[in-house]
A and B are shown apart, each in its own frame.
Chain A
Amino acid sequence: QSVLTQPPSASGTPGQRVTISCSGSSSNIGSNTVNWYQQLPGTAPKLLIYSNNQRPSGVPDRFSGSKSGTSASLAISGLQSEDEADYYCAAWDDSLNGRGVFGGGTKLTVL
């Protein structure tokens, strides 16, 4: 049972816009920033979005993040076949002496 809640799956066709939600609580998303990671099949996770809505250099501007209250979302516009991957949200949680927490992951399928 993950502390942050994500839908297990999402899908879209090439060129479409897809959003992935991430729901938390006041002790994590409500009081700390959210990061998003992309994990392509068989590879290590890669930072996609940090501090809610910032893109590391090299990440296309098709990827964007937002946060409101205790929820966050990742949007991917102009969907491409290479975007097929697992996506994880993450945040710091102030409970239990503090800990990093992740969502359960969303598997994005490009139809």
Chain B
Amino acid sequence: QVQLVQSGAEVKKPGASVKVSCKASGYTFTSYGISWVRQAPGQGLEWMGWISAYNGNTNYAQKLQGRVTMTTDTSTSTAYMELRSLRSDDTAVYYCARALRYFDWADPWGQGTLVTVSS
């Protein structure tokens, strides 16, 4: 079955960087893209961006431009999301999800990775 498994929880200090991984299985990795969505505690969902696993093309949310980088490693079917210059309001659960194109629905989702930014 199609499955996305994310890396474990992280605690970071303000100004640091975090890199979350998302390992895909059960489908041809390069035939789809990966969307990243985050959810602050008790809040709704926020779209962060999308990356094509076929050619590495990306589409980032404007508010995160310059701080976020999404990459893929096709040899291990793994997607990565790196967020730099972390602030306290970056504290959230970060989800990866399979999405054919940047504007398509996301299905399935990874289990989520909690990133806590605290001094």
Q: Please give the residue numbers on chain A whose beta carbons come within 8 Å of chain B beta carbons, in ascending order.
A: 2, 32, 35, 37, 44-47, 50-51, 56, 88, 90, 92, 96-105
Beta-carbon contact of B44 and A2 below 8 Å:
yes
Please report whether the interface of chain A is mostly helix, strand, loop or mixed according to DSSP.
strand
A46 to B109, Cβ gap below 8 A?
Answer: yes
B45 contacts which chain A residues (CB < 8 A)?
Answer: 37, 45, 88, 90, 102, 105
Q: Which of B44, B59, B105 contacts A105 (CB 8 A)?
A: B44
Residues of A within 8 A of B97 (CB): 45
Cα(A97)–Cα(B35), bound, Å: 17
24 example contacts (A-B, Cβ-Cβ < 8 A) are as follows: A2-B44, A35-B105, A44-B109, A45-B37, A45-B95, A46-B109, A47-B106, A47-B107, A47-B108, A50-B107, A51-B105, A56-B107, A88-B44, A90-B45, A90-B47, A97-B62, A98-B102, A98-B103, A99-B47, A99-B62, A102-B47, A103-B44, A104-B44, A105-B45
B83-119 CB mask vs A (1 if < 8 Å, else 0) is 0000000000001010000110111111110000000
Q: In this assembly, does B11 line the interface, its C-beta being within 8 Å of a C-beta of chain A?
A: no
Residues of B within 8 A of A102 (CB): 44-47
Give Cα distance in the complex from A56 to B108, angstroms.
11
- Supply 20 further A-B pairs (C-beta < 8 A) apart from A44-B112, A51-B105, A100-B103: A37-B45, A44-B109, A44-B110, A45-B37, A46-B107, A47-B105, A50-B105, A50-B107, A90-B45, A90-B105, A96-B62, A97-B62, A99-B47, A100-B35, A100-B37, A100-B50, A102-B44, A102-B46, A102-B47, A105-B44
**Bound-state Cα–Cα, A100 to B63, Å:** 12
Distance (whole angstroms) from the CB of B114 to the closest CB of chain A: 12
List A contacts of B37 (CB < 8 A).
45, 100
